[in-house]
Chain A
């Protein structure tokens, strides 16, 4: 894994209110674009049974895994339903409206 900033491409590749998954330097990361326009990034695989988090339903605070409805806070990755946590990553857009994720050291 390589730490630092990774540019994932245009933000409009992610529909508002949905998530898309990216392979980033060996990590699988789900990036969500909230209805207020802000972004969140968490690991893409549910720790419970490996569900595809990017296919989950979101609101302003949480994502719900489509397989068994485990719920995770988008900001922290913490589960509110007793599953293990997802990793969360700092994410933003650059001047050209590309998604930028920061992988920690």
Chain B
């Protein structure tokens, strides 16, 4: 009886698997779990993960790309929340583990939870080291406003939004290592002037010697980054926010922000508090096990193995594999014997590769060096007993593939050492790649081998981007892109197709937007198929290009556009938004967010009649009917008898408003009326990406106008401020003030002119929050408000043509445009077959 009771208590749902708890949801913790799952570990283990950041798991190496704006913060996630769900992993995100009770086998977290474990993995990683500098913290113990670490997504987002505020002009980065240089380069892309203050005698002194450091310094300074070496920061100046930094033995530097990139320290608090052995980091044996603790493992940057603590990704991968072999019992003999570390990266736009020793240590070591500072090229190789024990390559990493493999495996070297640095009359730069083994892993994030890439190329895929799409190589941290390119070039035998497509408006037509528009106009091309026939190579259609071309042509030709339905995305073919199960969502127009009891009753009746599973308010103040089967769309529209709200298109969508002066005590302008006027005028206008607008009746901004593509705010004295380029979605950006005007008519005119300029100039799918900073608010003001280019009248006229060409797409309900336009495309129940003629 007792035994029965305890058995049922343990497996509450009849689950008798071991409880595996992972503290840390970063690259090491998640990688360890992936390795465990890959060995079938889910059968043996019920997995729970704790992460003190409130997110899924992301690629920290990519933060510099997020900072520079090359990558979206959303794009660096390694495992989405779905991954945890699909693998049955319980994730406690935003929860910090405070203590482990090794005897009761429980972990205690700051949400008051006590979680039992049978096996525990500690993967707490590390955090930014904050050097002892005066003025770094406020009296309350927080970082002084304007001071940032560079370690997490939140740090990075904070830096971006701080740097983007207009008056932030100058930044100081403390630390001239890898991370510091990445931070400096990233900040430059936001128009910030940067100084790097480095305490070492030369840049990146952990990876290279003084000669390489000097060459790197020249390259970095050529980018406009000022470098101060052998220079220590003694204080942050400011008091309430950053105003400058004080250096030892050098004049102060005035600045608006400070980024601290002075190294990392392992997070070991939880281990120390819980009585585990900690020296520089948590001590582990060759099985990644904490000594004398059978069920506790540790992995990643929080670990000290044979006296070494690593701060790179590659060792972490090796450790995670060994750990998983032991946890799952897949290979009880697996041992981790330490890693030989090699870095190959683009640092601040300069190719840098470094491995092993920086300089000779023994009298018998050979040292082969080539230096050409004017080109930013430096190469150095240290050879011991005819094996490579160290190498540094700067500015030219064509030989990196062979050198890395020779370093890793101790390959025999050619007699003529200089051929290690250069290709001398040999088969060309691909020889380094040619010498790689087929099973050599080129992309470590996604585990893609040289062979897999070569097979893809030989299968007919000869562009870098094509191979990256097909194999996912280079789609993780991106550090291997150069090597992927080399392997592609080698496998294609020099026949690599270039990817100039990056600059094209759409991939299938080799023209940038301005040239494409000129050609379309010159040849009078009014349909998507005509554009392909006239301008695409071989007249070939391209599926990925159709939607962008359809949008562009509609903008250019308005009523004269020849509408080919196959050129539209399905949303625009059926005028509703496709959802994950193939049903659609329907959002009727509700101008300015205003509705009536009559409309509400009708919407309610429709929801009843068609068994709409979810009725929901949207962020744009409208009502969304979700889960509508495609074949019901025309009937739903007919019964609603309201126009389309355009919730599905790359187009003008909605104007959010507050109640304004009519009802609000504080309202200074009639925002509802203006919102309705704007929505009535611009309804359905196509654009490169969706457009969401708002009008607020006073500076309290209840309609959130400051974070809209176009936002209008009534200010006292009958005046209106117009903001453009705001966003509060995947990106957060406060709009820039375009103009302050004194009547609603001018608001509508300038908003329309801005939208038309955006429609003509922006890249396909480029939101205004990217477009406005790219072209600059001063330029926009000159063109749109001051008519500096003399095109205002033409822009207004072009917009008017589009406005005049408007027709409610839901009118197609009575007369489908194409046969079977609203027929289901997921015939889950076998359809009655079409009658045979």
Q: Name A residues whose Cβ lies closer than 8 Å to a Cβ of B.
A: 7-10, 12-24, 26, 28, 30, 35, 44-45, 49-60, 62-64, 66-67, 71, 80-82, 96-98
Contacts and interface: CB of A to CB of B under 8 A. Distances in A.
B470 A21 contact: no
A19 B566 CA distance: 9
A52 B564 contact: no
Using C-beta atoms within 8 Å of the partner chain, give the interface range for chain B.
35 or more
A82 B542 contact: no
Interface stretch (B37-45, B322-330, B820-828): B820-828
Given A59-B543, A71-B543, 15 more contacts: A15-B565, A15-B818, A17-B529, A17-B566, A21-B825, A23-B831, A23-B833, A44-B825, A52-B825, A54-B825, A58-B543, A59-B540, A62-B543, A64-B543, A82-B469
A20 B541 contact: no
6 contacts: A19-B825, A44-B826, A52-B578, A57-B543, A59-B541, A67-B578
Contact of A14 (B461, B469, B564, B820): B820
A13 B540 contact: no
A7 B471 CA distance: 39
Nearest to A66: B570
B434 to A, nearest CB: 26
A57 B569 contact: yes
Nearest to A49: B580
B819 A12 contact: yes
Contact of A51 (B470, B582, B827): B582
A60 B825 contact: no
Contacts of A63: 543
Contacts of B833: 8-9, 22-23
B824 A66 contact: no
Given A55-B570, A55-B582, A13 B469 contact: no
A63 to B, nearest CB: 7
Contacts of A26: 830
B472 interface: yes
Contacts of A8: 833-834
Contacts of A57: 543-544, 546-547, 566, 569-570
Contacts of B821: 15
Given A20-B820, A35-B541, A28 B827 contact: yes
Interface in B563-579: 564-567, 569-571, 573, 578
B837 interface: yes
A21 B824 contact: yes
B647 to A, nearest CB: 16
A76 to B, nearest CB: 12
B582 A20 contact: no
B823 A60 contact: no
A96 B566 contact: no
A96 B837 contact: yes
Contacts of A22: 827, 831, 833-834
A98 B837 CA distance: 8
Given A50-B582, A71-B543, A80-B469, A18 B818 contact: yes
A7 B836 contact: yes
B835 A9 contact: yes
Contacts of B540: 59-60
Nearest to A79: B470
Contacts of B823: 20-21
Nearest to A67: B580
Interface string B522-542: 000000010000000000111
A77 B574 CA distance: 25
A17 B564 CA distance: 9
B836 A9 contact: yes
- A-B complex: 4 closest residue pairs judged by Cβ atoms: A17-B566, A9-B834, A23-B830, A52-B825
A21 B580 contact: no
Contacts of A19: 825
B416 interface: no
Contacts of B566: 15-18, 35, 57-58
Contacts of B827: 21-23, 28, 44
A30 B825 contact: yes
A60 B567 CA distance: 13
B656 to A, nearest CB: 28
A36 B173 CA distance: 60
Contacts of B819: 12-15
A95 to B, nearest CB: 11
A45 B570 contact: no
Nearest to A30: B825
A45 B581 CA distance: 11
A98 B578 CA distance: 30
Contacts of A81: 469-470
Contacts of B831: 21-23
A13 B470 contact: no
Contacts of B820: 13-15, 20
B372 interface: no
B829 interface: yes
Given A9-B833, A59-B546, A17 B825 contact: no
A56 B570 contact: yes
A17 B471 contact: no
B63 to A, nearest CB: 25
A67 to B, nearest CB: 7
B770 to A, nearest CB: 20
Nearest to B574: A55
A55 B825 contact: yes
B825 A18 contact: no
Contacts of B829: 23
Contacts of B582: 50-52, 55
Contact of B470 (A24, A60, A82): A82
Interface string B555-567: 0000000001111
A40 B578 CA distance: 24
Nearest to A57: B543
Nearest to A26: B830
Contacts of B570: 52, 55-57, 66
Contacts of B571: 66
A63 B825 CA distance: 14
Contacts of B828: 28
A16 to B, nearest CB: 7
B823 to A, nearest CB: 6
A20 B546 CA distance: 19
A18 B816 CA distance: 14
Given A17-B564, A21-B825, A22-B831, A60 B580 contact: no
A49 B829 CA distance: 18
Contacts of A80: 461, 466, 469-470
A87 to B, nearest CB: 15
A58 to B, nearest CB: 6
A17 B826 contact: no
Contacts of B836: 7, 9-10, 96, 98
Contacts of B544: 57, 64
Nearest to B818: A15
A16 B567 CA distance: 11
Interface in B468-494: 469-472
Which residue, of B573, B827, B830, has the highest number of chain A Cβ atoms within 10 A? B827
Nearest to A97: B837
Contacts of A18: 565-566, 573, 818
Given A13-B819, A15-B566, A45 B543 contact: no
Contacts of B461: 80
Nearest to B529: A35
Contacts of B818: 15, 18
A82 B472 contact: yes
A69 B829 CA distance: 25
A10 to B, nearest CB: 5
Nearest to A63: B543
A35 B573 CA distance: 17
A48 B422 CA distance: 45
